[in-house]
Amino acid sequence: MKMYLISDNIDTQVGMRLAGVEGCVVHDSGSAKAEIDRAIANPEIGILVLTEKAEALAKEYLDELKLKLHTPLIIEIPDRHGSRDIAESINRMVQESIGLKL
């Protein structure tokens, strides 16, 4: 299984390529959705990694996919600015998924 990155900036893409992770850079919701579709259609991709801003471009679409798909695992990572609190993100995801507030 391979990882694939969808990023909103070239710096993150270059850093992940140095670690052996291929990926792309998107700047609008149309290209983000197209890259997500391309990635989930590839059976070799087991983990789809998105930066915060790239995830925000297709949030509703990704929420639907996370509920329907078993693979790939779709995860969000902080971008180079690290603007979000990871614990808050996990709590929000649990609350939206099962209705339990932590």
Judged on CB neighbours under 10 Å (0-12, 13-18, 19+), 5 is: buried
Q: Which helix (H) or strand (E) element contains residue 22?
A: strand 22-25
pLDDT above 60: residue 50: yes
Confidence of residue 78 (pLDDT cuts 50, 70, 90): confident
Residue-level length of the chain: 102
Specify the pLDDT at position 39: 94
Paired tokens of 33: 């959705």
Walk me through the domains of the chain, giving residue ranges and CATH numbers: 2-98 (3.40.50.10580)
Give the span between the Cα atoms of 62 and 9, in whole angstroms.
19
Residue for token pair 């391979």: 2
User: Region 8-30: what's the mean pLDDT?
Assistant: 91
pTM of the model: 0.77
In whole numbers, what is the pLDDT of the chain averaged over residues?
A: 85
**What is the CA angle 27-80-33, rounded to 5?**
30
Percent of the chain scoring above 70 in pLDDT:
81
pLDDT above 90: residue 66: no
Are 22 and 4 in contact, with CB atoms under 8 Å apart? yes
Specify the pLDDT at position 67: 86
